Amino acid sequence: MKTLTGYLRQAGAALRFLILATVVLGLVYPLAIFGIGQAIAPYQANGSILKGPDGRPAASALLAQVSADDTGIQDPKWFHARPSAVKWDPASSSPSNLGPNDPRLIDTVTANRSAIAEAEGISEAEVPADAVTASGSGLDPDISPGYARIQVPRVAAASGLSPEAVQAMVDRRTSSGPEAFLGQPSVNVTELNLDLASAVQSK
């Protein structure tokens, strides 16, 4: 009986400790970080939102923005992002979670490879790995410079811009320096497609 009341008293103290700690760690702390973030870095804190030519929010620089039909075929007018296990829907995020020997994964990447080779008018051997594999988040905004390069002729033809001009836009959105060395060179497709849109508009 004595132990039971001891336990109950301790449970009461534990609950009050938890509630007080929640006020500090679960409310004051995140709200303070929110306030500081809005004061010193509102662009980052609010999701790196890019504005369109009309000045209204058009995309997040950190997330893929893909125009695709129901079967996942991406619009040929734009640069394509990597395959996604969540159809690039930012309301969710996930990798495919398929194993390195999984037959389902072999089927998927093989089908992706022939589709891309056909769409870009190149041989299957020229399709880079990032083009056929689903990213870790499903929202990856980046592709390899190699994957961007094979898309240039198609995008140039659709936009009416010269392939050289389009390739120059790709190069401008390709990471370099320490960022590319620590990770790997990447082309931000979301930003690239916005650049492309404004270039087409001002043509």
Partner 1 sequence: MNFNTASFLIQVAALVVALAALHKPLGVYLVRVFEGKTSTRAERMFYRLAGVDAGTEQTWSVYLRSVLVFSAVSILAVFLLQRLQGALPGSNGLAGVDPWVAMNTSISFVTNTNWQTYAPEATVGMFVQMCLLAVQNFLSAAVGIVVAVALIRGIARTRTDRLGNFWVDLARTSFRVLLPMAAAVAIVMVLGGVVQNFWSTDVVNQASGISQTIPGGPVASQEAIKELGTNGGGYFNANSAHPFENPNVFISLFQVFLLLLIPSALPYAYGRIVGDQRQGFTVAAVMGSLWLASVSLMGWAVASGQGTATAAAGGLGEGFEQRFGPVPGAIFAASTTLTSTGAVNTAHDSLPPMAGGVAMVNMMLGEVAPGGTGSGLYGMLILSIISVFIAGLMVGRTPEYLGKKIGPSEMKLTALYILVTPALVLALAGISVLLPDVVANAPSSGPHQFSEMLYAFTSGANNNGSAFGGITTSGPYLSVMMGIAMLLGRFLPIALVLALAGSLARQQRIPASAGTVPTHGWLFGSLLLGVTVILTALSYFPALALGPLAEGLLK
Residues 152-171 that bind partner 1 (CB under 8 A): none
Helix (H, G, I), strand (E, B) or coil at 50: strand
Could you tell me the smallest distance in angstroms from the CB atom of residue 186 to partner 1?
5
> Is 16 near partner 1 (CB under 8 A)?
yes
* Residue whose entry in the numeric block shows the structure tokens 């394509």: 80
> Is 72 near partner 1 (CB under 8 A)?
no
Beta strands in 53-170, from DSSP E residues, in sequence order: 57-60, 142-143
Could you tell me the smallest distance in angstroms from the CB atom of residue 148 to partner 1?
11
> Is 132 near partner 1 (CB under 8 A)?
yes
What type of residue is 30? P
Q: Are 93 and 134 in contact (CB under 8 A)?
A: no
d(CA 168, CA 191) in angstroms, rounded, equals: 14
> Is 172 near partner 1 (CB under 8 A)?
no
Site size toward partner 1, by CB under 8 A: 101
Nearest of 147, 146, 37, 24 to residue 83 by alpha carbon? 147
Q: Between residues 120 and 140, which has the closer beta carbon with respect to partner 1? A: 140
> Is 118 near partner 1 (CB under 8 A)?
no
